Amino acid sequence: MEINGFRGQLITADHADYNDARAIWNGAIDRHPRLIARCSGAADVAAAVRFARDYGLELAVRGGGHNVAGTAVCDDGIVIDLSGMRSVWVDPASRTARVEGGALWGDVDHEAQVHGLATTGGIVSHTGVAGLTLGGGIGWLMRKHGLTVDNLLAAQIVTAEGEMLQVSEDEHPDLFWALRGGGGNFGVVTSFDFRLHPVGPDVLAGPILWDAADTDKVLRFYRDFVSDAPDELGTVVRFGTAPPLPAIPEDLHWRPVVIVASCYAGPMEEAVRVLGPLRAFGSPLLDLVARTPYVGHQSSLDSTVRHGWNYYWKSTYLPEFSDDLVDVITENAFACSSPRSYAVVFHLGGAVSRVSRADTAFGNRQASHAITLDAVWQPGEVHGDQDVRWAKGFFASLDRFRDGVYVNFLGDDEEPDRVRESYGDEVYDRLAAVKAKYDSDNVFHHNQNIGPREMKARTESTRSSG
């Protein structure tokens, strides 16, 4: 098979690399594309998009291949694979970085930290920059420096027509707005320009572990602790077993624990003072908060969520923790069966909440927390069915607290209106209008899909005439 004007690698089912090339982070996703077009640059991407259109092929786009829903790979069609496009160029003078569309967060941190710079990225370094950014981007630095999209200055995108556009506040501002939260609906982004900030290179960061039996007390303390925390403090709470990391003593491995992990993106003396009360609370089993290279902290969780394991997620935004909500979390968080399953709470607010809702296509900027309920089992293990039920049951018990959802945390079995839930009606309808302008045939639909306005109108008229 040939694609006119394509210089990268074409991988079909008879190729020795086919099974590796179609595998993504979530081992539960097992799809067989007809063709994987591993691009070497933007021109290849444009050629592959035109090819897919010409032959009417189902089309999926792979950035880091990390999305739990597995939208990076499709059955029978073509995967436009950017995993060969991972370059990062940092300009320390302007504190900006240009990042190719297949880069991972570890690639960005590796280059930017040479200059003591960083921008908000994901908390696992093998997550893709593209998918994370296009959905919004939350991470350790967001309360100080905003979402990843708040640091996006420009992008280069290949549209459904195979046209290459530069987008920014000044060029195609409607499309630039949509890219900052609207996901992969508008084309294939071949590069991103980000604003960087001085961070580290050392930060005060790390996890504190308490016994699972202390969850209720830890959560009540945590709620008050973060309610007036400075923006420099990013925290994540994890409910699960202690992972068998080298930094954790063996006698704690696999023991059910509640973990509050922190990263302070500010002066070290202030960090010590601010984290003091958290470190002094109760009787921690282990306190690993320490002066740490930021780049090391960014990859410290990597081995707890390995490629090829099976994953199933449910997620929602949550308001501030009422006593009632603490009770529900405490009751459900440890009821899973797999030692690898866990739940994670991200603390939002700070700079995230100070950007106007209309400025970007990100959904709910006022949510206090996001929670993901993550069933995890290795291939061949029996935990799958039970922990999928656990995630669904836990999610149902959070129903009365639900406050929208982060689009990047949606799985592949969600009800269709969960995409609308991610954005709210106003943002969703504005996204649909941009979609209608740039991809009216919905070529890019293998994603958390926003239908073009015409399609929605058609559906509505069909419904009303039916």
Residues near ligand FAD (CB under 6 A) are 25, 60-68, 71-72, 82, 101, 122-124, 127-128, 130-132, 134-135, 137-139, 183-184, 188-189, 305, 408, 446-447
Q: Cβ closer to ligand FAD: 155 or 229? A: 155
Q: Smallest distance, Å, CB 347 to ligand FAD? A: 12
Using CA atoms, how far apart are residues 396 and 412, in angstroms rounded to an integer?
Answer: 17
Q: Are strands 164-168 and 233-241 parallel, antiparallel or unpaired?
A: unpaired
Q: Cβ closer to ligand FAD: 48 or 204? A: 48
Q: How far, CA to CA in Å, does 257 sit from each of 212, 241, 395?
A: 4, 5, 20
Q: Smallest distance, Å, CB 457 to ligand FAD? A: 24
Q: Are strands 164-168 and 152-158 parallel, antiparallel or unpaired?
A: antiparallel
Q: Cβ closer to ligand FAD: 60 or 285? A: 60
Q: Smallest distance, Å, CB 405 to ligand FAD? A: 12
Q: Cβ closer to ligand FAD: 174 or 211? A: 174
Asked if 153 and 194 count as a contact pair (C-beta separation under 8 A), the reply is yes
Q: Cβ closer to ligand FAD: 131 or 349? A: 131
Q: Smallest distance, Å, CB 51 to ligand FAD? A: 17
Neighbouring residues of 68: CB distance < 8 A, sequence distance ≥ 6: 25, 26, 311, 312, 313, 409, 410, 411, 412
Q: Using the 8-state DSSP alphabet, how is residue 119 labeled?
A: -
Asked if 443 and 181 count as a contact pair (C-beta separation under 8 A), the reply is no
Q: Smallest distance, Å, CB 322 to ligand FAD? A: 25
Q: Smallest distance, Å, CB 451 to ligand FAD? A: 14
Q: Smallest distance, Å, CB 408 to ligand FAD? A: 4
CB neighbours (10 Å) of residue 273?
A: 11
Q: Smallest distance, Å, CB 391 to ligand FAD? A: 14
Q: Which residues pair with 311 in a beta bridge?
A: 376
Q: Smallest distance, Å, CB 138 to ligand FAD? A: 4
CB neighbours (10 Å) of residue 363?
A: 23
Q: Cβ closer to ligand FAD: 131 or 243? A: 131
Asked if 130 and 63 count as a contact pair (C-beta separation under 8 A), the reply is yes
Asked if 35 and 76 count as a contact pair (C-beta separation under 8 A), the reply is no
The length of the chain, given as a count of residues:
466
3-state SS, 23-91, equals CCCCCCCCCCCCEEEECCCHHHHHHHHHHHHHCCCCEEEECCCCCCCCCCCCCCCEEEECCCCCCEEEE
Q: Cβ closer to ligand FAD: 259 or 328? A: 259
Using CA atoms, how far apart are residues 269 and 257, in angstroms rounded to an integer?
Answer: 29
Q: Cβ closer to ligand FAD: 66 or 144? A: 66
